[in-house]
A and B are shown apart, each in its own frame.
Chain A
């Protein structure tokens, strides 16, 4: 069974750093792109970027380029999303999602990680 399991909720202060994770299982982790999607409170979905764990090829949405870093450790089948200096506006639910092989869709999603940034 394909599963993406994300790390738990985080509460941080502005200016702090953070790295959240998404562990894949039940499939060949290195053969599928993993995307990160933001959902701000009461708002819609926003594609942030994605990574191909097989060779760490990474692409970012222009809206998020330079704001976050996406990485992966294929030895432990885990993708990451990190911030070096959080802002209150980073408060959101973050989902990882697997790109469907050969198609432009995301077929499996993690349960989400809620990040709250507040002083």
Chain B
């Protein structure tokens, strides 16, 4: 069964860029574009910010971008702002027809 590994935490100063990785143990990320990213500020519900590896839903700033290379997907946030401080989760629809989430990464804006 697929598992997604994210770093527990990342940090950056306002205006800087940060990248959060999401590495899969099998090969579903590399084989398909079924990766999404969600932002969850403290005490709120998750919000979709990237779908199909690199697409942004309407209303999501273009400071958020997604990519993948091999079995690793990445979320990059450029021009960091204080309101970006949140937990970020990657998600993958697997070849077993289930969804799996990464463990989450806490972004701290210094």
**Residues of A bordering B, CB below 8 Å:** 35, 37, 44-47, 59, 61-62, 95, 97, 100, 103-107, 109-112
Contact between chains at A45 and B47 (CB < 8 Å) = no
A100 to B91, CA, bound (A): 14
Given contacts A44-B104, A105-B91, contact A35 B99 (CB under 8 A): yes
Interface residues of B in 45-97 (CB under 8 A from A): 45-48, 51-52, 57, 89, 91, 93, 97
Q: Is B41 an interface residue (CB 8 A)?
A: no
Given contacts A45-B89, A105-B52, A105-B91, contact A62 B46 (CB under 8 A): no
A37 to B34, CA, bound (A): 18
List A contacts of B21 (CB < 8 A).
none
**Residues of B bordering A, CB below 8 Å:** 1, 34, 36, 38, 45-48, 51-52, 57, 89, 91, 93, 97-104
List A contacts of B91 (CB < 8 A).
45, 47, 105-106
Contact between chains at B100 and A44 (CB < 8 Å) = no
Contact between chains at B45 and A110 (CB < 8 Å) = yes
Contact between chains at B36 and A109 (CB < 8 Å) = no
Contact between chains at A59 and B97 (CB < 8 Å) = yes
A105 to B58, CA, bound (A): 14
List A contacts of B38 (CB < 8 A).
45, 106
Additional 10 contacts, C-beta under 8 A, given A95-B46, A104-B99, A107-B48: A37-B46, A45-B101, A59-B97, A61-B99, A95-B45, A104-B36, A104-B51, A104-B93, A107-B57, A112-B45
Contact between chains at B101 and A44 (CB < 8 Å) = yes
A95 to B101, CA, bound (A): 14
A111 to B98, CA, bound (A): 23
Residue of B nearest to A93 (CB): B45
Q: Of B45, B97, B100, B103, which one neighbours A111 at CB under 8 angstroms?
A: B45
Residue of A nearest to B99 (CB): A47
Residue of A nearest to B43 (CB): A112
B44 shortest CB reach to chain A, Å: 8
